[in-house]
Structure 1
């Protein structure tokens, strides 16, 4: 018997490691978990009890944080992102949870947040930025729901400046890493550079996503669906790999590189081998920027690159600005194009005219 549509019930879907989807139900106003069967008598009774109880944090920032964490917007985030956001939201609630929402209308409240930002930022600038960025997200969500009029920390200047323009995997880096790397790490590198996909999507790629010619996936972070035609190198590797299970990238024993609670195993193994190979500045996620840079060097337009990687057009331009502005191959290609351009041919034969000794003497006079 289908249940009546109840207001104020949040449904959270979670994909388990075996691929199945489980639904969890929460009373939105109080955050109270509800029974798993929405058609049961127990569900209706639990809902009625939750309706009676007024949340203790009503009217505070803690209520705004709870509202966002139970939202569909939060639910659609990748599992790893949700986990990180919950960690940060807990820190924010510990510090600001009891602050009344009404206090956010005061122009003086911005200074409180700025002081907190600087306090954390003295030792952990990136963490400080992440906390403030997520608090802005919470406030913006509250504004969209009519619970808040203005965002008191909009336009906050970041403390951490990340410039990875020099952190591109060069041919020398790749060769050094591949030399003594286990097969499973070599496979991960080839797959990453040849597709330009994120770490979280690569470790979850299934053999069913590969049709012998292309890889098709829906990205976990953005929901974008991309179809990547495999380069001959990648296709040869995939066709020659043993299929130890449903996932393309696996540990030596065939287990996937991720579990429901942890997806950092490949990253850890990668980091250990990179250090052993003398590569300390580059990370796995730099391979995505390297792929974008390589495609750009091959002459692909930003629109074409975005169709492969799933980035927005704006994001591709940002990555190119960070990663590829200083690569030697781009510089060489630019100068070669300039050298062969007819429109600027006047610059190529330019030479200085040597002065005779008499001319130099007259010039000095």
Structure 2
């Protein structure tokens, strides 16, 4: 509202009236007892939420708890059935990763409800996650063109991910002060596992060429450290939409090197790093120590590298004529073998 003219008789009165708050800022409505909204409030304030292992995971939980409360806060906890949860989950079917994250948090929420007698069971316990496939390592041709066309900071994201093999949540936290004698040491945000990664000369050369604007190796266009992994994911999506990148993806598809519609995300670089380390001759435990993975996960991530190494070794043996004689078998009777 506009004030009257400053020399008007009622100016002072109107000024005081408009300067005095008539009401406080709107407060959040108290959720109804027994509702999902009330359950979210109870879970947030309980010890279970405080015991979620990492700050990154807690932040992710908060995001999905807000989403659950906004969309379903008025529903009764006791009225939730598996059929309802399938429909809730499938609302995000076009983004399976988001759907599965939502389901994880909703399952935790329903487990809390069962534990604290809000209801007698967990209706989400048997609901399966959507299939999203594996995080594929980036093909060499794709990496080459992405490094060529990426902006300087996006290029550094790729280099740091490829050379460290760490999750995006850890890559954006890396600081210059964590480097000692050519080794990057950090504690992973998700698992609280300490890792030390020898820095490849390619990585150190890229760092030396980059302006140092923050305590972190990576920063946004304002020179500030990235606050969330969302910025990383957004940059990768933008990169994949660039014409030269699309052309390479189309070429890889035509050559049947990748499948139709295959997508590549930042986490795939972790698999690239795993495969590279295995190819250098490091064993599962050594690779796991550097990447913060179990030996079983290293074997899973590196299965393509292992298959390739076996194929190369076998090819060399065949070409070199290294045949293992089998007891009781006369190779002469079979005649020459055509390779």
TM-score normalised by length of structure 2: 0.67
Of 224, 227, 238, the residue aligned with 1:272 is: 238
> Which one is further off, 310-319 or 204-213?
310-319
Q: Secondary structure of 1:291's partner?
A: helix
Asked if 1:284 is matched to 2:260, the reply is: no
Distance 2:219 2:205 in 1: 18
Gaps of 5+ in 1: 1-54, 355-365
CA RMSD of aligned residues (A): 3.8
Distance 2:109 2:208 in 1: 46
Q: Secondary structure of 1:216's partner?
A: strand
Residues 284 and 295, structure 2, Cα contact 8 Å, conserved in 1 = yes
Q: Quick one: structure 1 residues 61 and 183, their matched pair in 2 at CA, closer, same or farther if it must change by over 3 Å?
A: closer
Distance 2:32 2:282 in 1: 53
Q: Quick one: structure 1 residues 245 and 98, their matched pair in 2 at CA, closer, same or farther if it must change by over 3 Å?
A: closer
Q: Secondary structure of 1:226's partner?
A: strand
Residues 212 and 235, structure 1, Cα contact 8 Å, conserved in 2 = no
Structure 2 residue aligned with 1:307: 289
Of 112, 137, 157, the residue aligned with 2:84 is: 112
Residues 212 and 239, structure 1, Cα contact 8 Å, conserved in 2 = no
Distance 1:300 1:130 in 2: 33
Structure 2 residue aligned with 1:359: none
Gaps of 5+ in 2: 1-29, 250-262
Residues 197 and 290, structure 2, Cα contact 8 Å, conserved in 1 = yes
Of 209, 220, 226, the residue aligned with 1:258 is: 226
Distance 1:313 1:233 in 2: 27
Structure 2 residue aligned with 1:185: 154
Q: Quick one: structure 1 residues 266 and 114, their matched pair in 2 at CA, closer, same or farther if it must change by over 3 Å?
A: closer
**1:134-166 deviation line (CA, Å, top 9, x unaligned):** 2112223445566665322213223x322236x
Of 207, 228, 238, the residue aligned with 2:197 is: 228
Distance 2:191 2:42 in 1: 22
Distance 2:98 2:233 in 1: 20
Count of residues in Structure 1 that have an aligned counterpart in Structure 2: 284
Q: Secondary structure of 1:187's partner?
A: helix
Structure 1 residue aligned with 2:65: 89
Q: How does 1:1-365 map to 2 (within 5 A)?
A: 56-70=31-45, 71-74=49-52, 76-78=54-56, 82=58, 84-94=60-70, 96-103=72-79, 109-118=81-90, 120=91, 125-143=96-114, 149-158=120-129, 160-164=130-134, 167-238=136-207, 241-251=210-220, 255-259=223-227, 263-274=229-240, 275-279=242-246, 281-320=263-302, 324-325=303-304, 329-330=308-309, 332-333=311-312, 335-336=314-315, 339=318, 346=326, 353=335
- Larger RCO, structure (CA 8 Å, separation 6 or more): 2
TM-score normalised by length of structure 1: 0.62
